[in-house]
Amino acid sequence: MNFVESSYVVVLFWQDYTGEDVTVGNFFAAILGNKTALTGGSGKVVDSGPNDHIFIYYTDHGGPGVLGMPTNPYLYADDLIDVLKKKHASGTYKSLVFYLEACESGSIFEGLLPQGLNIYATTASNAEESSWGTYCPGENPSPPPEYETCLGDLYSVAWMEDSDIHNLQTETLHQQYELVKRRTSNDNSPYGSHVMQYGDVGLSKDNIFLYMGTNPANDNFTFMDENLLRPRSKAVNQRDADLVHFWDKYRKAPEGSSRKVEAQKQFVEAMSHRMHIDHSIKLIGKLLFGIEKASEVLNAIRPAGQPLVDDWDCLKTLVRTFETHCGSVSQYGMKHMRSLANLCNAGIGKEQMAEASAQACVSFPSGPWSTLHKGFSA
């Protein structure tokens, strides 16, 4: 949980809420300043007033309409928007900036975040694409050998490294948005995504220091429209970041070692889970709509400006129904949230979903990726 509120009210960092304390409930309670709703953690909340400027940075795995959490359930777009509306109605901020990194992160605000809340949001990707990891093993530059994972993502690295070198008292949110957009697209290479902006875009005229503060060492730095930071020549699809970790772990382990055997086992289990999820969703679609029409329904993308789904309760119900019969969707299965949303948009209800899921998943997967020991994702 990472977000900073300016005007010297409160600063919340990951140390305040870790592990099992990082929950949707605690995240919402912290935003709303509701200490009584907290369970665990440091007890810090955003205790802001009507003249305060708030900055929220959220990064995790994601999918259409959903954001990951270390705990279940996941965070769904409609619930986040409801909380932001409550925060606005309470009159406890002047303006709020939200930076969001996740796959399909644009779907969290697309058609959902209205103007007039004094909220400006940017996302690492549009509503239909993955975001990208960087500083990964095998890249140049690579992380230190003891780190067998990607150390960042294109979007977050772009805005953080930009903030590190510029005078944030003179640089505007819009200037940073344009710079981050160019860098995250990776010069329009196949390894990049489209940074988006939502809400009250007029707030992007504000200077960044209102939300993040500034480093006095950069006070004499003049903003350059061209990005002086080195562009990434390659990146890793965020959904494959765990595979990069397992493969790098396997590659480095001595032949015949228990570490190599364990890394191979983890890689195989992850791939097996992916194939199970992909196959199950496709089969459910065929059972509900027939072989000819299934792909069209599952892969349909609504026009820009429309939310992912009309009935969010239906989506959450279908997620729980799927998981009851087929196991956890996990962070990888989030990619199929659009397909499940499309079932709702097509009028599929719980009973039809349960029948199709039971036929598609004749046995409950036993692997660690499919377990429901942490509860349902919705």
Active site residues: 61, 103
For residue 74, give the DSSP letter: P
- How far apart CA 188 and CA 295 sit, in angstroms, is 28
- Residue with structure tokens 């997967």? 365
| Run of H or E including 163 | helix 154-165
Strand order in the sheet with 53-59: 10-12, 2-5, 53-59, 95-101, 119-123, 196-199
Joined together, the tokens standing for residue 236 give 């890793």
For residue 12, give the DSSP letter: E
Give the distance, in angstroms, between the CA of residue 192 and the centroid of all CA atoms in the same chain.
Answer: 15
- Residue with structure tokens 């500034």? 214
User: In sequence order, what are the residues at sequence separation of 6 or more whose Cβ sits closer than 8 angstroms to the Cβ of residue 191?
Assistant: 132, 232, 234, 235, 236
Residue 61's nearest CA partner among 192, 238, 288 is 238
Give the distance, in angstroms, between the CA of residue 360 and the centroid of all CA atoms in the same chain.
Answer: 28
Strand order in the sheet with 152-153: 152-153, 132-134, 236-237
Contact call for residues 84 and 117 (beta carbons, < 8 A): yes
